[in-house]
Structure 1
């Protein structure tokens, strides 16, 4: 595709946005009815601010969902420590709750505006950010173009590029170049990610490591943890977390294979808790007794499965076990983040499909803290082996925590990379402290 065709395609995208704008109201109302949007804050998705802009320098951070929000939280705290205002946008109700829990009123939270020119323009007209910082893989054409047109520096931090996304962008090199060249800086998670961003036209590109390693351990409710541990007693446990369709049934099959010998309790935490009713039906159909977190069911001696059908409580579920299978890897595609279970003292098991977190798994596998399984039968054997070999399980856990410690440092590198953009704002905030 030529540069002229790329400009034409992006212009068509812009005008298509104008056409879609009037019908987005009913669409967001439909999402709100399903609990995917906050009813009272839908106007924010059209760029309408719910609060006034504070005086002084301001950085716009965008984090799509929970993982990205957790990843940039320490970076946001560093920016706030300098007296610089922050408006944080997220795309899900869950990430909004995480932002509130972790950052409180130290930042202004808004839902991210739709990637349509009227919404983006309205958002930027109100907030006038001095810098825009996007997390991981947030590439929204109209947002990038509007920031570029206003000469607002935009930086991608903790950047990653999946196999699928890279292949898709490579088919449209002129469009990729027109967008990625707009980034003032890309700070990538790995050298492999960095090379992909460079190939697509981003310059300069630096490597920091993964910000998720430098985050705090996932929080938990101590009272809930104590209650569950009391109910579980001395039963053996394992967890299947961030599961996708098919993997909950696999966890049920593993439980049935092992429970008679071990008196096992299996913890299942789906990636999308709204599937909980269907998951429970599947597990009950396998002859298993299910306790659900949302019902506050008591775990009894007859309970086979604790279904963790809540959001934001991974820290609770992982503290109930020392063995964690990480989903979207047997029946899904791309994998899920293995760092949290390693951080919280779990031996990690995973299926082979972990393309989106390849480097993290490579680091953990090399240290001996993560093992890959091909299928359900191999998963059952892996869980059984770790349940019955305390020394091997303990070595995996220790290796995982050592690996996490070795991988830390991404926050320092990211802050160092951002200094040319943050230093002038820091000076401005200090010169006008009442405005910041």
Structure 2
């Protein structure tokens, strides 16, 4: 595709956005009815501000969902320490709660405006950010174009380019070049990601590692943990976390294979807790007794499955076990982040489909902190072996924690790359101090 055709395609995208604008209100109303939007804050999705813009320099951070929000939180804290205002946009209700828990009122939170010309223009006209920092793989054409038109520097941090996304962009090289060239800087997670961004037209590109390694361990309530551990007694446990459809049933199958000889409790933490009713019904249909966190069900001697159907309590669930299978990898595609379970002292198991977190898994597998399984039977054998062999389980845990420690450094390197953009704002903030 030529550059002229790319301009035509992007112009068409813009006009399609104008056409879609009137139908977005009922669409968001439907999402709100399903709990996927906050009813009282839907205007933010159209670029309407719900709070006043503070005086002084302002950096706009965007993190799509929970993982990205956790990843950029340490970076945001460093920016705030310089006296620079921060507005953080996220795209999901869950990530908004995580932002509130992690950052409190130190930042302004808004829901990200829809990638339509009227909404993006309204958002940028009001907030007037001095710098835009996007996390991981957030490539929104109209947002990028409007930032470029206003000559606002835009940086992609913790940049990741999946196999599927790279293949899709390569089919449209002129469009990719027209968009990626507008980034002032791309900070990539790995050499592979960096080369992909360069191929698509991004320059300069810096490799720093994964910011998710820099995050604090997920929080937990000590009293709640003590209560559950007291109910468990000496029962053995394992967890299937960040599971997608079908993997909860797989976890139930593993439980049935092992429970007679281990007295096992299986902890299941779905990636989408709102699926709790469906998951419980499916497990009960298999003859398993389910206790749910949302009901505060006790863990009795005959409880088979503890269903962690809450948001923001991964720190609790992972501290209840030393073995964690990470989902979206056995029956799903792409995998989920293995860093948190490794950080919190779990031997990590995963299916083979971990393309989106390839580098993290390669590092953990190389050190012995993670093992890959092909199917449910192999998963059951792996869990059973680790439950029965304390020395091997401890060896995997130690290797995982050592690997996470060795992977650190991305925050310092990312800040170093951002210095040319942050230093002028730091000076401006100090010359014109404002109330915080």
1-side partners of 2:96 and 2:9: how far apart?
33
Give, in angstroms, the shift of residue 312 of structure 1: 1.0
> Is 1:390 paired with 2:390?
yes
Q: Which residue of 1 aligns with 2:167?
A: 167
Contact 1:62 1:135 in 2 (8 A): yes
- Does residue 1:260 correspond to 2:260, yes or no? yes
- Per-residue deviation, residues 34-89 of structure 1 (Å, max 9, x unmatched): 00000000000000000111000000000000000000000000000000000000
SS in 2 for 1:317: helix
Q: Equivalent residue for 1:90? A: 90
Partner of 1:358: 358
Q: Which position in structure 1 is the counterpart of 2:153?
A: 153
Partner Cα separation in structure 2 for residue 161 and residue 223 of structure 1 = 41
The CA deviation at 1:261 is 0.3
Match of 2:26 in 1: 26
> Does residue 326 of the first structure (1) align with residue 296 of the second (2)?
no
Q: 1:191 matched to which residue of 2? A: 191
CA–CA distance in structure 2, aligned partners of residues 250 and 101 of structure 1: 32
Give the drift of 1:285: 1.0
- What is the CA–CA distance in structure 1 between the aligned matches of 2:31 and 2:91, rounded to whole Å? 12
User: What is the CA distance between 1:311 and its match in structure 2?
Assistant: 1.1
Is the Cα–Cα contact under 8 Å of residues 56 and 435 in structure 1 kept in the other structure?
Answer: no
Q: Please name the residue that 1:369 is paired with.
A: 369
Query: Matched residues in 2 for 1:434 and 1:57: separation?
Result: 10
* TM-score normalised by the chain length of structure 1: 0.99
2:280 paired residue number: 280
How much has 1:435 moved relative to structure 2? 6.7
Q: How does 1:105-116 map to 2 (within 5 A)?
A: 105-116=105-116
> Which residue is 2:38 aligned to?
38
Determine whether 1:295 maps to 2:285. Answer: no
Once the 2 structures are TM-superposed, how far is the Cα of residue 251 of structure 1 from its aligned partner?
A: 0.4
Range with bigger deviation, 360-369 or 271-280: 271-280
Give distance in 2, aligned partners of 1:221 and 1:162.
35
Q: Residues of 2 paired with 1:148 and 1:221: CA distance? A: 45
Contact 1:352–1:374 (Cα < 8 Å) also in 2: yes
1:136 is the counterpart of 2:136: yes
Contact conserved, 1:429 with 1:435, CA < 8 A, in 2? no
Q: How many residues align?
A: 436
Unaligned regions of 5+ residues in structure 1, if any? none
**Secondary structure of residue in 2 paired with 1:161:** coil
> CA–CA distance in 2 between the matches of 1:83 and 1:298?
47
* 1:242-267 CA-partner distances (Å, limit 9, x unpaired): 00111111100000000000000000
Q: Distance in 1 between matches of 2:31 and 2:209?
A: 35
The secondary structure found in structure 2 opposite 1:299 is coil
Q: Deviations over 1:383-407 (max 9, x none)?
A: 0000000000000000000000000
**Residues in 2 aligned to 1:207 and 1:51: alpha-carbon distance in whole angstroms:** 36
1:247 and 2:247 aligned: yes
